Amino acid sequence: MKEQGTYSPGLDGIVAAETKLSFLDTVQSEIVIRGYDLIDLSEKIGYLEIVHLLLHDRLPNAAEKGRLEQALKNEYEIPEAILELLKLLPGKTHPMDALRTGISALAGYDANIDDRSSSVNRERAYKLLGNVPAIVANSYRILNKQEVVLANKDLSYSSNFYYMITGKVPSAMEEKIFDQSLLLYSEHEMPNSTFTARVIASTLSDLYGALTGAVASLKGNLHGGANEAVMYMLLEAGTVAKFERLLDGKLANKEKIMGFGHRVYMKKMDPRALIMKQALKQLCDAKGDDRLYKMCEAGEVIMEREKGLYPNLDYYAAPVYYMLGLPIAIYTPIFFSARTVGLCAHVIEQHANNRLFRPRVSYIGERHNRNVISN
Ligand SMILES: CC(=O)SCCNC(=O)CCNC(=O)[C@H](O)C(C)(C)COP(=O)(O)OP(=O)(O)OC[C@H]1O[C@@H](n2cnc3c(N)ncnc32)[C@H](O)[C@@H]1OP(=O)(O)O
Ligand SMILES: O=C([O-])CC(=O)C(=O)O
């Protein structure tokens, strides 16, 4: 039997897996995705190329990209019964909860559910990449008593996602920024949701189960739920002066400010946030309204001065989505949709080289003498 390791609250600093997928290199300031820096890629390629890179271990050429796009388009349709299931949910259901239900229900439609091979898991990943945006968009529309918008296969993957949510085709600039946000959210090493998915997969449970658990994890405000919380905070304030007061008040109450801080980046800005900050500037300039940009900048100044903390991706993705006209309630589901590929890649990797996750505890409860209880 191995000796027990040292307890690290929140598993801070603990290495939980070996992976060829990604690594946050804080020394060289790179988000390494299969050897490439995500930030560098975000300026050169789009979301679909990242999907190919994560699932097939290389950037695609034009023909491969075309084939991938077509394969995802073939999976756009979700079973009618799942739409009916979503219609049964109470209107106040959060879209993340609807998404959790929808992904879980997909398992029943998989004829090879017991097959954990990489090739079948990869086909499943295609299905999920086709289905998840449709579940996100449709569940939001159904919960809000709006007509479902069917997929438009003439549009690009990201454009179609935007279209299914809003019913509008995005402009070229909107499409590029939305696609870039999906790319930035696509994969990020071992956040809580990815760990959750790998832990579930390690019992040889299936990809749907692993992703269902990951939705629940990502919903929390300390993780993906932060993007929605950021937007509500910005809207509650409405002006730079009120936002400054709001932040000062929260800090005085020892509340956490959503969108700031990160377990790995800690005292540095999340490099993805900077890309979304630039996108926000572009959108604000194009729409001739820089209020959100100014508020966000003011927030950054306060948080650096008062706490030495910097924005994470959610802080700038939220106002970007707002300026793109996306409903706040699906900011976190959009994050999850983008992360579907990363999660699938991790589950494929886990299943291909599995060992059950089963850590130990540091017991701090009482011990009673065996003789205390008499028969
Ligand atoms: C894309 C993503 O999912 S990124 C994460 C999105 N989540 C958020 O934005 C939520 C707000 N941020 C946080 O809660 C944290 O920064 C986390 C959970 C992301 C990471 O934090 P951890 O590594 O667990 O640090 P922890 O929560 O222990 O905080 C350490 C200290 O910094 C403070 N701190 C950390 N983040 C914040 C924050 N956003 N606002 C105020 N104080 C903060 C804590 O209060 C704590 O202070 P203390 O030592 O005086 O008690
Ligand atoms: O890495 C984390 O802990 C959270 C995060 O930024 C992400 O999942 O994108």
Q: How is the chain split into domains, by residue range? A: 30-221+329-352, 226-323
Which residues are catalytic, by number?
262, 314
Mean pLDDT for 6-17 is 95
Nearest Cα residue to atom 22 of ligand 1: 263
* Confidence label for 1 from pLDDT (cuts 50, 70 and 90): low
Q: In whole angstroms, what is the distance from residue 263 CA to residue 191 CA? A: 9
- Which architecture does CATH list for 30-221+329-352? Orthogonal Bundle (1.10)
What per-residue confidence (pLDDT) applies to 373? Answer: 73
Q: Is the pLDDT at 2 greater than 70, yes or no?
A: no
Question: How many A from CA of 329 to the centre of ligand 1?
Answer: 22
Q: Is the pLDDT at 338 greater than 60, yes or no?
A: yes
pLDDT digits (tens, 9 = 90+) for 141-170: 999 999 999 999 999 999 999 999 999 999
What per-residue confidence (pLDDT) applies to 4? Answer: 74
Question: How many A from CA of 191 to the centre of ligand 2?
Answer: 5
4 vs 255: which has the higher pLDDT:
255
What per-residue confidence (pLDDT) applies to 230? Answer: 98
Mean pLDDT for 178-191 is 98
Mean pLDDT for 350-371 is 95
Mean pLDDT for 181-195 is 98
pLDDT digits (tens, 9 = 90+) for 12-70: 999 999 999 999 999 999 999 999 999 999 999 999 999 999 999 999 999 999 999 99
CATH class of 226-323: mainly alpha
Mean pLDDT for 171-194 is 98
Q: Is the pLDDT at 75 greater than 70, yes or no?
A: yes
191 in contact with ligand 2, CB cutoff 6 A: yes
188 in contact with ligand 2, CB cutoff 6 A: yes
pLDDT digits (tens, 9 = 90+) for 285-303: 999 999 999 999 999 999 9
* Confidence label for 90 from pLDDT (cuts 50, 70 and 90): very high
Question: How many A from CA of 251 to the centre of ligand 1?
Answer: 12
Mean pLDDT for 179-192 is 98
Q: Is the pLDDT at 205 greater than 70, yes or no?
A: yes
What per-residue confidence (pLDDT) applies to 264? Answer: 97
What per-residue confidence (pLDDT) applies to 3? Answer: 66
What per-residue confidence (pLDDT) applies to 371? Answer: 78
pLDDT digits (tens, 9 = 90+) for 217-264: 999 999 999 999 999 999 999 999 999 999 999 999 999 999 999 999
Please give the mean pLDDT across all residues of the chain: 96
346 in contact with ligand 2, CB cutoff 6 A: no
Q: Decide if 30-221+329-352 and 226-323 have a common fold.
A: no
